[in-house]
Amino acid sequence: MADPAFTSSDAVRSAKPLKHVRTATFAGPHRLELGGELPAITVAFEIYGDLSPEKDNAILVCHALSGDSHVARHDGDDDPGWWEALVGPGRHIDTRRHCVIGVNVLGGCRGTTGPGSINPATGRPWGDDFPTVTIGDMVDVHRLLLDHLGITALKAVVGGSMGGQQAMLLAIRHPTRVRGCALLATAPRVHSLSLAFDVVARNAITQDADFNGGDYYDGPHPAHGLAIARMLGHITYLSRAAMEAKFAADRMKPRDVRTQFEKRFSVGSYLAYQGDRFVERFDANTYLRLSLAIDLFDLGATTTELAQAFAPATCRFLVVSFTSDWLFPPDQSMDLVGALVALGKSVSSCDVRSGAGHDAFLLESELPVYGGLVRGLIDRLDRDAANQGPDAGDGHLDPLGHGATNVFYSRRLDYDRVLDLIPRDASVLDLGCGNGGLMARLARRGQRRVVGVERDEGAVLTAVSRGLDVIHADLDKGLSMFSDGQFDIVVLSHTLQAVLDVERVLREMARVGRRGIVSFTNAAYRQHRRILADDGRVPDFGGGGTHRWWNTPVVRPCSIADFEDCCRAFGLKVLSRHYLDTHRGGEEVVHDANLQADLAIVELGR
Amino acid sequence: MADPAFTSSDAVRSAKPLKHVRTATFAGPHRLELGGELPAITVAFEIYGDLSPEKDNAILVCHALSGDSHVARHDGDDDPGWWEALVGPGRHIDTRRHCVIGVNVLGGCRGTTGPGSINPATGRPWGDDFPTVTIGDMVDVHRLLLDHLGITALKAVVGGSMGGQQAMLLAIRHPTRVRGCALLATAPRVHSLSLAFDVVARNAITQDADFNGGDYYDGPHPAHGLAIARMLGHITYLSRAAMEAKFAADRMKPRDVRTQFEKRFSVGSYLAYQGDRFVERFDANTYLRLSLAIDLFDLGATTTELAQAFAPATCRFLVVSFTSDWLFPPDQSMDLVGALVALGKSVSSCDVRSGAGHDAFLLESELPVYGGLVRGLIDRLDRDAANQGPDAGDGHLDPLGHGATNVFYSRRLDYDRVLDLIPRDASVLDLGCGNGGLMARLARRGQRRVVGVERDEGAVLTAVSRGLDVIHADLDKGLSMFSDGQFDIVVLSHTLQAVLDVERVLREMARVGRRGIVSFTNAAYRQHRRILADDGRVPDFGGGGTHRWWNTPVVRPCSIADFEDCCRAFGLKVLSRHYLDTHRGGEEVVHDANLQADLAIVELGR
């Protein structure tokens, strides 16, 4: 079955026993969160790379619904693992430097105690008697395993989807044991549409005539129901674009698969195949338990609730979503980010552009961005351990994040002035931070707290790799992830002229910060006036010199006088004004700044 | 069950017999498209309003998967119909003026011959022996009914979802019988994601232990499978936002419904309830037939294939999509529009802003826009019959479609010049047409063909109501719905400065049209120069006088000299230049236009 349409990220994994799996058994009784207890729990796990003598290089990788402990291959003969793209020697999670632990969750069917395990009280499989499992129960078992391995603190915990739920709960419940937490394609609770699909999938299993109330181990398993659940899963893991790419061209040409299911369309034969293969390796009762655990997981719906939930965490967070993921959509990641920022936690986020849907977090094709981000987090944790600050970097790219450089910006005279206006103990939000030039300078002089917002994915990746806290967001869509008065100072350094909704951005600045610092190119600078008046051309109002009127990032040029109007219109108080002529060495302009200054830095209050 | 979360557009309809249904029976044999034949076909239909003596006021309304002939209530005692919002006395489809026909499709279970009907050869229900039904078969039966009613030409055929598929095929197969065709929330073929859901739904039915190969009429029906299919349907009819609005607040508080299905979450109890109720009124074999008919319907994947399919049609088209519909998403409507435009057909389209998902086309809440559009089409057909052109209208609103007016634009001097540049036999595409001021003038002087593109929903509704062909689209996203060299002339009247991606729009203009006419406000007009040079303010570069620098629609100001640069950069040939000083009565400026003219009209060729 080498047909590319039939391959999938969650590749049809073999039902063969895992060669390198180890187990540990913990005597009970273990009480579970929602009632019921287990007499003893066996945990299946795999280890990649060596634990350092200080035991400070361990990274726990948590799996999603249908995963297991086999994260990656152990050697050339081994079967590939489910996160082969990310984990391995020389990979972004480098097993030559780190000790990676893959662990099968409680309730699973790949070595860890689950509904298919023998209930010692009866000598028969637990079946429906196996208690309801929560993400919290899974995390409790992870902690037992860490104790068993003698690991008091993980460098990081990493997980996508249900794996992300485990990762965030571990960071919350055991803050001293987690220094970094990378959350991919996950959410603090599934939204109602995802929940609805899970309900239908469970109904398909429990209504299967062979389900027999979960007591089916002596007879035929509820294969039709489980296969239908799996088909639904496969649909929701992909995006519409990914589905079309696989099946649109030959939709009426199904593959010749042996199945009881409809195989009239190519997508039908694909779903039948995936459903049938899944049944060979997965247990329906495990599916029910894990699917329900995902749905029951609920850290809150509002920023306030989420902030309460995350309050105990102390680690650095990385939150990664994927633009086409509709099962764990980007805005849910942003809810998480909002709560973490509100709490003053260290967090970066990126909404990775991808057409691959929820599956994206597993794919090699999307690795350059999400892998780079995860590596950025791990590198930063290493720098933390070595007491190093963020990378100052060398280039100060175009402040508008569009990649252009010129002599003016490479000097970034505005940075010096902006720095002077910011007390060292102030918390700072840099809106339109680009790759973090100003942030790095603030951080290196010991600024208490610096957070950036940037809309360009590449700039976010660079800033994260430098070791900065950057939120990937578009200012024109508002700043609802930030709460009122959350920062001492909000900086808009050459950003305002690149947004369309100036009013919204200024109002959000005033809402979120106690003071604002806005720097911009004065459109009425003498040279600009001359260009329009004498040359009859629209001047370059600060686009960086490499753009033309039809593609400049500056879409809202304004003069100093215009900006003052705007402040009056929106009720913003000007606290101080700093007008410079950068063409004359950056000297401060005192007289007729609207003519003589090209760079304006205005400090605003409410 | 008055709980608002449990109501749905496709309201839980009663299984009661329809009081006002009529039937007609057509002797056979009838051969179906994919083989098999039926000896006789009975059609169930309902009539609302009176057929005119000329029989020229009939409107056929086609239903979606779970609908029937009961479009609306006939009187106060009657049960509500499924398109009650749209159809009735004084409604947008006004049964005081029009004769509306609702018809149950072939293969249905509400009166028209279907798998549950008695097969005269056996005296038992057809069951699985009922042949595969296509949309084409349904349309053939509609035609029999029209003949029976003596209607040679419908004023319009209207349908949403599967109803839209019937409507478009009727317009294609019987062009002389359809004068107008309104297509809502539909597609020329379902995309792979929708198709995949249908496959899973059918598998749920056919794998139900009670399905018995479709021969279940003597025993229990496959209720679990059909209910699961229905649950899936309900999920895909809603948007995520609509689901969250219904269920997020009380997700853990299910309603107390009697059901065998999971009811742990509020959305679970909702799905269980909808599934159980559906089984009471719908036949599983009909579900399989209709669902498959939807999936088999395929007018083509490319513009070329679609244009071949639609070539025979002669009616006016209206294509309506809804922004949050992911089952029949807006871009599929745009595929339809592209093919119709390529063929030179009369077509308008609108992507209605809605959070309601696919269901939107049935909802009262979205009626002001989609109802207004349908009424606009019907009114236009009435004007056609009376040989009236489009409504000239009175107001010439802000050309940028932002609603502002001023003295300058109300005179629209540029229109006169633009009109002079357009031969009467030229086909014209007006990009950024607003509410259609220029188009109406072109149409009223007898222009051969005029099509507009506008991004503002309200302006589109106005233009459609005026009787113009307007496509709802955002120029910044390209013009892929138009094919190369399709129009003689493409007009950008005060539009270019309001788009962000000037290069793309100009290149698309050059691709789609043989000539271009671009009008814009000259940023280097003497008054603008003076404002920047003397006042130190960024001038209003043509925003209409009511905006400020922070909210003007003009984001790409340019001078005449700048525009010439741009034409050179993109290899556009300037064919003629028309520079006016509208502040001096619109006189033509010959000398130093870049200083003396405020309005530039430039004719471009490749």
ipTM: 0.93
Answer whether B451's CB lies under 8 Å from B487's CB.
Answer: yes
* Residues ≥6 apart with Cβ < 8 Å to B412: B396, B399, B437, B438
Instruction: Copy the structure tokens of residue B176.
Output: 């002389």
Nearest Cα of chain B lies from the Cα of A598 at a distance, in angstroms, of 12
d(CA A556, CA A155): 45
More confident residue, B285 or B544: B285
- Output b/e per residue, A448-475; b: 16+ Cβ within 10 A: ebbbbbbbbbebbbbbbbbbbbbbbbeb
Query: 3-state class of A216 per DSSP?
Result: coil
d(CA B47, CA B69): 9
**Residues in chain A within 8 Å Cβ distance of B208:** 207
What pLDDT, on a 0 to 100 scale, did the predictor assign at position A521?
95
Angle, nearest 10°, between helix axes B303-310 and B330-342?
60
Which of A128, A134, A189, A199 best tests the B interface by mutation, with the highest count of B CBs <10 A?
A199
Which of B6, B195, B255, B531 best tests the A interface by mutation, with the highest count of A CBs <10 A?
B195
d(CA B502, CA B524): 19
Active site residue A325: yes
Q: Is the CB of A532 less than 8 angstroms away from the CB of B532?
A: yes
Q: Is some CB atom of chain B closer than 8 A to the CB atom of A504?
A: no
Which residue, among B447, B468, B296, has the nearest Cα to B393 in the 3D structure? B468
Residue A214 vs residues A125, A133, A183, A593, B52: alpha-carbon distances, Å? 10, 15, 33, 79, 64
pLDDT band of B504, cuts 50, 70, 90: very high
What pLDDT, on a 0 to 100 scale, did the predictor assign at position A387?
85
Residue A162 identity (one-letter amino acid): M
Q: Is some CB atom of chain A closer than 8 A to the CB atom of B457?
A: no
Answer whether B494's CB lies under 8 Å from B414's CB.
Answer: yes
Q: Is some CB atom of chain B closer than 8 A to the CB atom of A150?
A: no
Give the H/E segment covering residue A46. Answer: strand A37-48
d(CA A409, CA B65): 61
| Average of per-residue pLDDT across B226-235 | 98
Of A325, A335, A398, A540, the catalytic one is A325
Which residue, among A527, A604, A603, has the nearest Cα to A559 in the 3D structure? A527
Q: Is the CB of B538 less than 8 angstroms away from the CB of A560?
A: no
Query: Considering chain B, what is the average pLDDT of its residues?
Result: 92
Query: 3-state class of B14 per DSSP?
Result: coil
What pLDDT, on a 0 to 100 scale, did the predictor assign at position A414?
75
d(CA B350, CA B347): 10
Q: How many other CB atoms are found less than 10 A from the CB of residue A348?
A: 28
* A218-237 residues touching B, CB cutoff 8 A: 224, 228, 231-232, 235
Q: Is some CB atom of chain A closer than 8 A to the CB atom of B537?
A: yes
Of A117, A161, A239, A269, the catalytic one is A161
Residue A172 identity (one-letter amino acid): I
What pLDDT, on a 0 to 100 scale, did the predictor assign at position B412?
66
Which residues of B belong to the active site?
Answer: 161, 325, 358
Answer whether B397's CB lies under 8 Å from B546's CB.
Answer: no
* Residues ≥6 apart with Cβ < 8 Å to A534: none
Distance from the Cα of residue B171 to its chain's centroid: 15
d(CA A458, CA B296): 43
**Residues in chain B within 8 Å Cβ distance of A235:** 193, 196-197, 200
Q: Three-state SS across B235-296?
A: HHHCCHHHHHHHHCCCCCCCCCCCCCCCCCCHHHHHHHHHHHHHHHHCCHHHHHHHHHHHHH
Which of B10-14's residues contact partners 24+ apart within 8 Å by CB, and which partners?
B10/B64, B10/B66, B10/B67, B10/B82, B10/B237, B10/B359, B10/B362, B11/B80, B11/B82, B12/B273, B12/B274, B12/B277, B12/B278, B13/B66, B13/B68, B13/B79, B13/B82, B13/B281, B14/B79, B14/B281
Give the H/E segment covering residue B307. Answer: helix B303-310
| pLDDT averaged per 10 residues, chain A (length 606) | 58 67 95 96 98 96 97 93 96 98 97 97 96 98 98 98 98 98 98 97 97 96 98 96 93 92 95 96 97 98 95 98 98 96 96 97 96 98 88 49 37 79 96 95 93 97 97 92 93 94 96 96 96 96 84 95 96 96 86 96 93
Q: Is some CB atom of chain A closer than 8 A to the CB atom of B565?
A: yes
Nearest Cα of chain A lies from the Cα of B165 at a distance, in angstroms, of 19
d(CA B422, CA B414): 13
Residue B116 identity (one-letter amino acid): G
Query: How many angstroms separate the first and last alpha carbons of chain A?
Result: 65
What pLDDT, on a 0 to 100 scale, did the predictor assign at position A407?
32
DSSP E strands in A288-352: the ranges are 316-322, 347-352
Nearest Cα of chain B lies from the Cα of A231 at a distance, in angstroms, of 7
d(CA B158, CA B180): 8
Of A98, A358, A402, A472, the catalytic one is A358
Give CA torsion, residues A399, A400, A401, A405, to 10 deg.
-50
Give CA torsion, residues B250, A332, A139, A43, to 10 deg.
110
Q: How many other CB atoms are found less than 10 A from the CB of residue A494?
A: 25
Q: Is some CB atom of chain B closer than 8 A to the CB atom of A196?
A: yes
Enumerate domains of chain A plus CATH numbers.
389-605 (3.40.50.150)
d(CA A93, CA A61): 10
Instruction: Copy the structure tokens of residue A311.
Output: 């309050």
- Read off φ and ψ for residue A298, nearest 5 degrees: -155, 100
Q: Which chain B residue is nearest to residue A539, measuring alpha carbons?
A: B558
Q: Number of A:B CB contacts under 8 A?
A: 221
Instruction: Copy the structure tokens of residue A517.
Output: 């610092």
d(CA A206, CA A222): 8
Helix ranges, B54-161 (H): 135-149
Rama region for A38: left / alpha / beta (φ>0; ψ in -120 to 50; rest): beta
Nearest Cα of chain B lies from the Cα of A131 at a distance, in angstroms, of 16
Query: How many angstroms separate the first and last alpha carbons of chain B?
Result: 65
Q: Is the CB of A538 less than 8 angstroms away from the CB of B555?
A: no
Instruction: Copy the structure tokens of residue B600.
Output: 């530039």
| Average of per-residue pLDDT across B233-240 | 96
Instruction: Copy the structure tokens of residue B365.
Output: 């809440």
Distance from the Cα of residue A373 to its chain's centroid: 9
Q: Which chain B residue is nearest to residue A201, measuring alpha carbons?
A: B228
What pLDDT, on a 0 to 100 scale, did the predictor assign at position A14?
57
Which of A211, A239, A535, A549 best tests the B interface by mutation, with the highest count of B CBs <10 A?
A549
d(CA B27, CA B8): 38
pLDDT band of B596, cuts 50, 70, 90: very high
Q: Is the CB of A243 less than 8 angstroms away from the CB of B502?
A: no
User: Which pTM value belongs to this model?
Assistant: 0.94
pLDDT band of B398, cuts 50, 70, 90: very low
* B247-276 residues touching A, CB cutoff 8 A: 247-248, 251-252, 260-262, 264-265, 267-268, 271-272
Q: Is some CB atom of chain A closer than 8 A to the CB atom of B492?
A: no
- Whether B445 shows a pLDDT value over 80: the answer reads yes
Angle, nearest 10°, between helix axes A223-237 and A192-206?
160
Residue A313 vs residues A317, A320, A443, B19: alpha-carbon distances, Å? 10, 18, 22, 64
Nearest Cα of chain A lies from the Cα of B286 at a distance, in angstroms, of 17
Nearest Cα of chain B lies from the Cα of A222 at a distance, in angstroms, of 11
What pLDDT, on a 0 to 100 scale, did the predictor assign at position A399?
40
Q: How many other CB atoms are found less than 10 A from the CB of residue B248?
A: 16
